[in-house]
């Protein structure tokens, strides 16, 4: 089966290999694929693998040989699933491959904010410690996580892993109440109580019409001035202009973000210059172990498809 990877560099910038897939298909790799390169590259393909390259219904129409699309991620918004189903094209994804690292990165952002790690490292290397009259100094107030309330929006596998880590820190854990019945002992709070009681709010829910821009002027107005927002989920969960304003005006204390509404962001994205806003470039999935797992699951998905089985099918 002729298989084309359209943006191989994101999952494997050179430290891994594609042997698990190469051994079972006729594999062609492209590090990146621009929109104007797509149609020429996929002619004759039976299978496409994509992380962020969009596969539309119009694209599918141009490749009658196409039978399979493997999304090299959990989210499948880059593929028109309805169009694929109508054309008999199987679409699969990679579930739960990065759960430990997303949770780990969520706490990297939290700890950076509460311990002011980056701020103290930069000042010490700039000479502030060498010039200090005392053996130690701090920039502002440092706070413990123990006893703080962590509010989680989205208690899937990642949200539960974050809750597990929070418990080890001695934090109180609450979740935003949803229509789904609770299957764990974590306390669910109504909207107003959730936002007003949480010291940290961590976003781990899927993007949906209900969750889009759930962090906005209304929810921010309910939060404590000392509150922190963490987003390792989806960028559009946050109204970025509202959050930037809240940070700049001291309405909340800080934010740690691994995702933005558009990636890469526009140079004038207000969060890039907002006060106490710590941003990483969507790396919470990118640990080497996660990417190794991703490639192996992608190979398992293809192997199952070739043998007539269904594994991680999303349409």
Shared domain for 82 and 190, answered yes or no, is: no
The active-site residue out of 37, 82, 144, 263 is: 263
Phi then psi for 5, rounded to 5 degrees?
-95, 120
Shared domain check, 199 and 161: yes
Same domain, 165 and 258: yes
Query: In the chain, what percentage of residues exceed pLDDT 90?
Result: 97
Which two tokens mark 235? 């960028």
Q: What is the pLDDT of residue 181?
A: 81
Alpha-carbon gap, residue 112 to 103, rounded angstroms:
14
Does residue 275 have a pLDDT over 90?
Answer: yes
Strand pairing report for 228-231 and 200-203: parallel
Instruction: Give the whole-angstrom CA distance, residue 23 versus residue 35.
Output: 28
CA dihedral 140, 144, 150, 156 (to 10 degrees): 110
pLDDT band with cut points at 50, 70 and 90 for residue 45: very high
- Residue 180's pLDDT band (boundaries 50, 70, 90)? confident
Kindly state whether residue 315 falls inside one of the protein's structural domains.
no
314 belongs to a structural domain? no
* Other beta carbons within 10 Å of 300: 17
298 and 232 within one domain: no
In whole angstroms, what is the distance from residue 23 CA to residue 18 CA? 9
Place of tokens 């929810």: 219
Residues 162 and 239 in one domain: yes
- Regarding whether 173 and 245 lie in a shared domain, the answer is yes
pLDDT digit string, tens, across residues 283-315: 999 999 999 999 999 999 999 999 999 899 999
d(CA 281, CA 291): 16
Instruction: Clarify whether residues 239 and 258 are in a common domain.
Output: yes
Residues 103 and 216 in one domain: yes
**282 is an active site residue:** yes
CA distances from 131 to 16, 18, 124, 134, 270 (A): 45, 52, 9, 9, 35
Question: Which domain covers residue 163, as residue numbers?
Answer: 98-279
The pLDDT of residue 179 is above 80: no
Contact 229, 271 (CB under 8 A): no
Answer whether residue 245 is part of any domain: yes
pLDDT higher than threshold 90 for residue 178: no
- pTM for the predicted model, two decimal places: 0.93
Q: Which of 234, 240, 291, 293 is catalytic?
A: 234
**Domain annotation covers residue 138:** yes
Give the Cα separation of 162 and 152 in Å (integer).
8
List 41, 87, 188, 282, catalytic entry:
282
In terms of domains, do 262 and 296 share one? no
Average pLDDT over residues 231-235: 97
When divided into structural domains, the chain yields a total of 2
Q: Which residue has the tokens 């703080």?
A: 148
Q: Left (φ > 0), alpha (ψ -120 to 50) or beta: where does 94 sit?
A: beta
Q: Which of 229, 236, 219 is nearest to 257 (CA)?
A: 229
> Which structure tokens are listed for 102?
């997303």
Q: Where are the beta strands (DSSP E) in 121-215?
A: 149-153, 172-176, 187-189, 200-203
Is the residue at 297 inside a domain? yes
| Residue 79: pLDDT over 90 | yes
Residue 186 and residue 172 share a domain: yes
254 and 151 both lie in a single domain: yes
87 and 6 co-located in one domain: yes
* CA atoms of 18 and 72, how far apart (whole Å): 13
SS3 content of the chain, % helix, strand, coil (to 5): 35, 15, 50
pLDDT band at 252 (very low <50, low <70, confident <90, very high): very high
CATH number at residue 61: 3.40.50.720
Q: 263 catalytic, yes or no?
A: yes
Question: Residue 86 contacts by C-beta under 8 Å, 6 or more apart in sequence?
Answer: none
312 located within any domain? no
Whether residue 38 is contained in a domain is answered as yes
Within a domain: 237? yes
* Phi then psi dihedrals of residue 83, to 5 deg: -65, -40
Q: Which residue has the tokens 């306390």?
A: 187
Write down the pLDDT at residue 164: 98
């Amino acid at each position: 089966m002729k298989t084309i990877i359209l943006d191989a560099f994101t999952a494997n910038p050179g430290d891994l290999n594609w042997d698990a897939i190469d051994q079972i298909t006729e594999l062609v790799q492209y590090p990146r694929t621009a929109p104007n390169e797509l149609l020429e590259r996929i002619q004759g393909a039976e299978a496409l693998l994509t992380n962020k390259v969009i596969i539309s219904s119009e694209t599918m129409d141009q490749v009658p040989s196409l039978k399979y699309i493997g999304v090299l991620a959990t989210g499948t918004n880059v593929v028109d699933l309805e169009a694929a189903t109508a054309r008999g094209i199987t679409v699969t994804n990679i579930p739960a491959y990065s759960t430990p690292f997303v949770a780990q990165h969520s706490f990297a952002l939290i700890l950076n904010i509460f311990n002011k790690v980056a701020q103290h490292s930069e000042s010490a290397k700039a000479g502030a410690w060498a010039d200090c009259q005392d053996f130690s100094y701090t920039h502002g107030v440092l706070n413990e996580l123990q006893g703080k309330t962590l509010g989680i929006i989205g208690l899937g596998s990642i949200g539960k892993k974050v809750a597990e880590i929070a418990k080890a820190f001695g934090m109180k854990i609450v979740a935003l109440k949803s229509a789904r019945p609770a299957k764990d002992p974590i306390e669910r709070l109504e909207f107003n109580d959730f936002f007003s009681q949480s010291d940290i709010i961590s976003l781990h829910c899927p993007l949906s019409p209900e969750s889009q821009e759930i962090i906005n002027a209304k929810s921010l107005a309910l939060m404590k001035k000392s509150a922190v927002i963490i987003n390792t989920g989806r960028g559009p969960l946050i109204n970025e202009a509202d959050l930037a304003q809240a940070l700049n005006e001291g309405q909340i204390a800080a934010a740690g973000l691994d995702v933005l509404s558009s990636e890469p962001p526009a140079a004038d994205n207000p969060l890039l210059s907002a006060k106490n806003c710590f941003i990483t470039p969507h790396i919470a999935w990118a640990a080497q172990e996660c990417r190794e797992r991703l490639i192996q699951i992608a190979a398992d998905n293809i192997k199952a498809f070739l043998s007539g089985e269904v594994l991680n099918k999303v349409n």
